[in-house]
Structure 1
Amino acid sequence: MLSAGLSDADRRRVRATRFPREFDVHVDLAKVNLPVMRVWIAQRLDDTANGDDIATEYILSLFDDDTTYDIKALQIQLEGLLPNPADAAAFCMDLQTLMLDAQTTVSGVPKRLVAERREQWRRERERQ
């Protein structure tokens, strides 16, 4: 997702908004396991956007063709799609943290998601 698709007003908002330092770090999507991240994005947006499939599909489509993305532009675009604009900042911070972690692992999967999945499997085994 490039910021080239932003309107002039959104570009001004990107310049005027203070973002966390993590947003200045480049993420190479070629090093990230995007299918795993798409599942996380869909689940998180489903919770945040109250099941708004349009918002979820739009955001997922931004990761279709690019090898990089602009987290700042994504946050500005999400503010208009989510019921609470503050949710956009929290979502983008989580996403950027996971993406930065994912690009450093061999599998391209963030360590946090691996740990969460292991914990889920452990709980399922205990129930049986």
Structure 2
Amino acid sequence: MKVLNYGTIKIAVARILLEDTSNIFEILPDNVQILNLECWEHAVFSTILALRSFERSTNKAKTIKGEILLRASGTLQIKDAIEAVGAKKGENFIVAFGENAEKDLHELLSKIPAKEIPFGDCEKEYVKKLFEKAALVDVR
């Protein structure tokens, strides 16, 4: 698990091996999103952009969780975003945000059918392209 600060808000991210997605969304609190992405940096950057869009009232989605999906997918359609980067069986990233992000994520990981797995950094040039894709939502 990695924990970062975005101003006064903490963002915690972990890589998980998700065995079953059927009831996962009923368990997730409002400050947690699961994304099927290759890089933790992409998950965190999409979360920061989503939080910033709500601060500035430039959000496209009704919820921060929905905005994270839009940002991570680079699309404006929530249905397309879920299909592209929504939680799937297998490896995913889980992101929590807020004052108690790390604690919230630890508690949630003990309740869901997932195993935390280690992860490393992605190659910088690849991450840069992902960041550009996430930022495109502001341009559209």
TM, length-normalised to structure 1: 0.27
Which structure dedicates a bigger proportion of its chain to strand? 2
Larger-Rg structure: 1
Higher relative contact order (CA 8 A, sep 6+): 2
The structure in which a higher percent of residues are helix is 1
TM-score (norm 2): 0.26
